[in-house]
Structure 1
């Protein structure tokens, strides 16, 4: 079920799922009832209360939304955003991807607790500042000593882009510059995100794995009719 799972703060866990958890996206043409069953199964594996795992309607924006524990997530409409922030870490959070970066963030609160966030950082979101907005949300909650875990994504040797798109991107974040294994212009999203987070004063950790190369992960570039795996952060029950 998990590509990677680790306790990242006292009582706080982060993880990235793989294909064995099944498709977790409701927007890819899958049977909705089956997706909800997989999400409930995932909640049981974490474990967190049924219906508490918060997903979002991702649109490749830089929008970061603050979420609270006002009722179970299963009774609420998914917020349209590309980052979620839980100021006290009480809400289990999920971000879905199939090539873009899933980023999990944790910061220490003055009382020793943790504020948490997740972000969906594709090319557009990364360039538009989705990570900066997630970090701002954590700092507004009073969190310091911020750390981030960058999950599996399409790698710099596989993410081919047009030459002008590459030029525009690296003008904003030079560390994005890459070449494919076959010698064409490319972007390295993880390197770009690592640089962005460092500039924001966030210690970044890489969880390696290329979605296009690893059969255990979903890749939209490899197959447009594919599922979504998730980046997760939650507190012990």
Structure 2
């Protein structure tokens, strides 16, 4: 089980010299309906509060954390010293670029992935000293964004046998109802995603699909098996939509120390 540190970060062990974890909705300054650690810039929350919330996460992991502008694709953006300088010079909370994955071999630069039902994935090779994150929603799983993140890591010296990964809280297969045609389309590409809800309707199990993709590459992975749709400690776009409100964004974070 992940250990909790900071006020709202669930830590996972990705090896020596790596700090990684997943935030919950606790430990921030945002009022309802974002209560309280909203890290998103597109939720309608006050940017000043989001900056403070992100600063708290940076304090917990001991490093500045870069986030991409996520578009449900499979592009992986590499960050290094030059990109860090450019990103830090921008007015926060600016995005590091448009992508659904980030990779770096830069010590002291955290990578973050924002979610509110999609699957956050954090990866590290503690031997080669390379880390990455991936945002795996329905389209990202279909496109293989996790594979692209692993490819980016191996291009920087990582070995799949040395890579450790953690699949964070996301909407589970019992709660992620989709049209039957959509389930068939995704499952044709990633069979492990095929699922049914508790009511027996068509569904997708995206965490299971991501775990299968990682296993196919020989990557050891742990699963923080908590469903965002039913867990009140986590943000959920689906839950908020069902109640006619809005919600914040939590994150998966990883940094080389």
TM-score normalized by the length of structure 1: 0.92
Give ranges in structure 2 of 5+ residues lacking alignment: 1-6, 28-36
Distance 1:88 1:142, change over 3 A: farther
1:18-46 Cα distance to aligned partner (Å, 9 max, x none)? 01141000111111111001111221122
Q: Distance in 1 between matches of 2:87 and 2:13?
A: 23
Q: Match for 1:81 among 94, 99, 112?
A: 99
Which is further off, 75-84 or 119-128? 75-84
Cα contact 1:170–1:177 (8 A) shared by 2 = yes
Q: CA deviation at 1:89?
A: 4.7
TM-score normalized by the length of structure 2: 0.86
Matches within 5 A, 1:7-46: 7-21=13-27, 22-46=37-61
Q: Distance in 1 between matches of 2:254 and 2:9?
A: 14
Kindly report the root-mean-square deviation, in angstroms, between the aligned alpha carbons of the 2 structures. 1.4
Give ranges in structure 1 of 5+ residues lacking alignment: none
Q: How many pairs are equivalent?
A: 230
Matches within 5 A, 1:66-77: 66-70=78-82, 71=85, 73-76=87-90, 77=94
Q: Match for 1:102 among 87, 95, 120?
A: 120
* Other-structure match for 1:231: 252
Matches within 5 A, 1:1-237: 1-21=7-27, 22-48=37-63, 52-70=64-82, 71=85, 73-76=87-90, 77-78=94-95, 79-108=97-126, 112-144=127-159, 145-224=162-241, 225-236=246-257
Cα contact 2:21–2:253 (8 A) shared by 1 = yes
Q: Distance in 1 between matches of 2:86 and 2:225?
A: 32
